């Protein structure tokens, strides 16, 4: 098959003929996407990735011969940046398997069609969920390839240096982190580097559905020196604890007497997200003033850009992950190109730099600027 120049070449991997038909027809209807092959199991997928050189892969998890997680590991041995999007079910077993796939190197996931008898509805869900992710994930990779002469690079976005301010002397009071696509792996690399003696609380928004965030918190709790929990209503925001917003709810930080607590809301999504990073960032700025250190990690979209502006306007600081180490430089790129990033750092430097910045000593709990 002769490749069509400029189109995103996708390999579809699933042991269900019905799912393969739904996915290939939904993707094939988009003029920017070309289906270059299908595979019935992970073993076939590994061979076809080598033979067809696709721009992206959609991968089922449960398959005979070789499952999707094993296939991801095998592909990653030779293809470190090939976008691989997993199909997940919204069950505890499905969520756990999806987190295993992300840990193995998968780029992102979408919800697998549940009502396969309704082709139109299933294809609509695929178009709405999968196509934007494929375009975002392949956009970064094709730009990198273009730099090496393989394909035309996407237009570069230049980071804008932030406005100069007086050197900071006082301690921070909180660390707030926002992430999305590629975020679970980024969090798994950053959070375990924070010391048990960290003098401030940590609050996190990772774009994920309900159930996924609880399992993510449980997994991070095993590897981190700090306690990691999914936020509940009235959660105390205190040093020694990392609090992750639950899927489906915004996390808002508020004062309660001399304490600071987490409040959960079902207010409308922002940036098409609930939880939203902007919601969290505005709330920490309101409570902690100039003592906020925020970090925006890899992710699609622009969530966190406006909140970062609020934090910097209040005297806090914002770090952003760099483009080279981001799975998608959407969220951190939006912060950087808006001139709201005090530092733009590769992933491997973010944990150590945050730990150093927060080591200036504790700040009184519940006191604003």
| String of DSSP letters for 71-137 | HHHHHHTT-SS--EEEEE-SSHHHHHHHHHHHHHT--EEEEPPS-TT-HHHHHHHHHHHHHHHHHHH
Q: Which of 55, 185, 303, 322 is catalytic?
A: 303
263 in active site:
no
Q: Which of 207, 278, 283, 342 is catalytic?
A: 207
CB count within 10 Å of CB 162 equals: 19
250 in active site:
no
CB count within 10 Å of CB 335 equals: 32
Q: Which of 179, 180, 283, 326 is catalytic?
A: 180
Dihedral sign, CA of 270, 276, 278, 279?
positive
Alpha-carbon Rg for the chain, nearest whole angstrom, is 21
Q: Look at residues 184, 182, 130 and name the one whose alpha carbon lies nearest to residue 299.
A: 182
Secondary structure tally for the chain: helices H, strands E: 11, 15
* Cα Dmax for the chain: 68
180 in active site:
yes
Cβ contacts of 196 within 8 Å, gap of 6 or more: 225, 226, 240
Active site residues: 180, 207, 303
């Amino acid at each position: 098959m002769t490749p069509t120049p400029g189109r995103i070449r996708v390999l579809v991997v699933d042991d269900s003929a019905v799912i393969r038909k739904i996915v290939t027809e939904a993707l094939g209807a988009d003029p920017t996407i070309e289906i270059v092959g299908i595979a019935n199991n992970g073993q076939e997928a590994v061979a076809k990735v080598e033979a067809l050189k696709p721009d992206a892969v959609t991968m089922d998890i449960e398959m005979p011969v070789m499952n999707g997680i094993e296939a991801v590991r095998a592909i990653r041995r030779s293809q470190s940046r090939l976008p691989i999007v997993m199909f997940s079910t919204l069950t505890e077993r499905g969520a756990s398997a999806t987190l295993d796939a992300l840990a193995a190197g998968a780029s992102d996931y979408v919800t697998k069609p549940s009502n396969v008898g309704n082709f139109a509805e299933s294809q609509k869900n695929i178009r709405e969920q999968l196509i934007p992710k494929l375009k975002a994930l392949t956009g970064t990779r094709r730009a990198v390839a273009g730099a090496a002469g393989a394909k035309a690079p996407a237009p570069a976005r230049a980071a804008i240096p932030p406005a100069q301010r007086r050197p900071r002397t006082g301690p921070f009071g909180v660390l707030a982190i926002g992430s999305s696509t590629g975020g679970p792996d980024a969090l798994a690399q950053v959070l375990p580097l924070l010391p048990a003696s960290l003098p401030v609380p940590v609050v996190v928004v990772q774009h994920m559905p309900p159930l996924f965030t609880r399992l993510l918190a449980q997994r991070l709790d095993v590897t981190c020196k700090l306690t990691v929990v999914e936020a509940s209503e009235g959660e105390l925001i205190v040093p020694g604890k990392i609090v992750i917003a639950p899927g489906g709810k915004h996390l808002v930080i508020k004062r309660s007497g001399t304490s600071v607590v987490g409040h959960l809301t079902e207010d409308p999504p922002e940036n098409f997200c609930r939880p939203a990073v902007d919601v969290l960032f505005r709330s920490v700025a309101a409570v902690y003033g100039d003592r906020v250190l925020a970090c925006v990690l890899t992710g699609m979209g622009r969530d966190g850009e406006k909140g970062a502006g609020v934090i910097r306007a209040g005297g806090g600081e914002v770090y952003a992950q760099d483009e080279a180490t981001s799975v998608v430089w959407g969220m951190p790129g939006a912060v950087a190109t808006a001139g709201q990033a005090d530092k733009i750092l590769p992933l491997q430097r973010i944990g150590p730099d945050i730990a150093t910045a927060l080591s200036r000593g504790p700040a009184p709990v519940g006191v604003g600027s």
